[in-house]
Amino acid sequence: MNDKQKKPQKLKARLPRGFGDRTAADIHATNEMVAKIREVYERYGFDPIETPQFEYTDALGKFLPDSDRPNEGVFSLQDDDEQWMSLRYDLTAPLARHVAENFNEIQLPYRTYRQGYVFRNEKPGPGRFRQFMQFDADTVGAPGVHADAEMCMMMADTMEALGIARGDYVIRVNNRKVFDGVLDAIGLSGDEKSGQRLNVLRAIDKLDKFGLNGVKLLLGGGRKDESGDFTKGAGLSDEQIAQVISYLTDDSFHPTSELYDQGQAELMQIEAMVVAAGYDSTRIKIDPSVIRGLEYYTGPVFEAELTFDVTNEKGEKVVFGSVGGGGRYDGLVSRFMGQPVPATGFSIGVSRLMTALKNLGKLGQDEILAPVLVTIMDADVESLGAYQRFAQALRNEGIRAEMYQGSAKKKIGDQLKYADRRGCSIAIIQGGNERAEGVVQIKDLIEGKRLSGEIEDNASWREARVAQEVVPEADLVAKVKEILAAQAEDRRRAKNA
């Protein structure tokens, strides 16, 4: 066979590793969730802003949690002017650039929230994606720890607005100054130790995932996971590791460090303020194990943790864990400015939180009904125009409606099968005889499905025509509304039974 006779090779459909397609159900659930988050943020006085998904790579900086080089861990391309651009890895670095670029126009304190996708060029795995959605709130230009306390209170309110009960979540708070004081005490101060400090931060940030023994390995030579992959450790000595572990486990641990004392004083202020506002330690709790893996945090840091059990892919009961975090980053905006600009913020991992809410049965409460299906009996222009008119009359009254768009040769049975697979609850049918009489058939597909399980012969079926009614065209919308209302009442009763 010569080249001309060879069949062209089919292009293989492949989803890129670490990325995912979103279904209608996921999108509706996300919209339902972020609407509740947005309502809380706006109640606290935050306004929306949107930044592009691409930033110049140097604007993002060397802050990635799994990278020491600015162009590693991100997806980058070179523009036609030979400048490197990268997809944003979080929503905070782009905000810092926006504030610095528009500093003379914005009003400080600048309180904004943002929702959008971020991208990490990292090894994908179960529950670990290269593209995921975050929802952030930030206050720029607020130097006092009362702004950090407010962030913690807002996160507690957000958890409860999403239906997460008290006792099923906790906002855990620490201060980077406290931990930086520990690092100074074990000899990890100075620019030449910055890489080692970052590796220590990452190790402790994995405490909830790997436990104390796993953290010890990551603080020392390194750790091998179940797949055999090896993660190089921070290279601390046994004595240094012992001091870090004491910090995490011993309440009496107190290094000689002014920075440590300053951080502890700020934590005491935050605790006093949240308690005064009615948030006790079951909702907002001081916890020395909270570190956060990003290097740009300079003061208080916090995490929202869900405390209830879920079943993992191995069938094991595990605590769900963190669904968001943040902290103070006073140096991030200042990188672009010749002056200090204090800032604090919080980021929610939308996809992870959505998984948690599904486990709790807290999503899908806002019902999304499949459309009413207007079937096609005849394919002439006049008939098609009539079917479109029916669909439009329903839409004009706020009812989801779809005119069948498949082959006009499809029999009515095939169209009703499509309606069943689509989840439609009502079908509209009009043939030539009905059109001549100015009437339509309205088929209650929910009731019809119920009756079909009870009726044993054709005679009984003919007698039970309540699932299909004939009404004048002028009464179409009113009758559909009546059926939809009855179906909604049946669902409500079944739910409360």
pLDDT at site 459: 54
Q: Is residue 70's pLDDT more than 70?
A: no
pLDDT tens for each residue of 230-266: 889 999 999 999 999 998 898 888 998 999 999 999 9
Q: What is the mean pLDDT of residues 267-281?
A: 97
Tens digit of pLDDT for each residue in 103-126?
999 999 999 999 999 999 888 877
Dihedrals phi, psi of 129, to nearest 5 degrees: -110, 160
What residue spans of 130-190 are helical by DSSP H?
A: 145-161, 176-185
pTM value?
A: 0.81
How confident is the model at residue 465, as a pLDDT? 47
Tell me what the pLDDT averaged over the chain comes to. Answer: 87
- Is residue 142 within 8 A of residue 109, CB to CB? The reply is yes
Pairing of strands 110-119, 131-140: antiparallel
Rounded CA-CA distance 278/41 in Å is: 19
Q: What is 407-466 written as a DSSP string?
A: -TT--HHHHHHHHHHHT-SEEEE--HHHHHHTEEEEEEHHHHHHHHTT--SHHHHHH-GG
Give the domains, in start order, of the chain with CATH numbers: 24-360 (3.30.930.10), 372-496 (3.40.50.800)
DSSP state of 128: B
**Confidence bin at 2 (pLDDT 50/70/90):** low
Q: Which residues contact 94 (CB under 8 A, 6 or more apart)?
A: 51, 52, 55, 59, 88
> Which of 273-287, 314-328, 373-387, 424-438 shows the lowest per-residue confidence on average (mean pLDDT)?
314-328
**pLDDT for residue 365:** 57
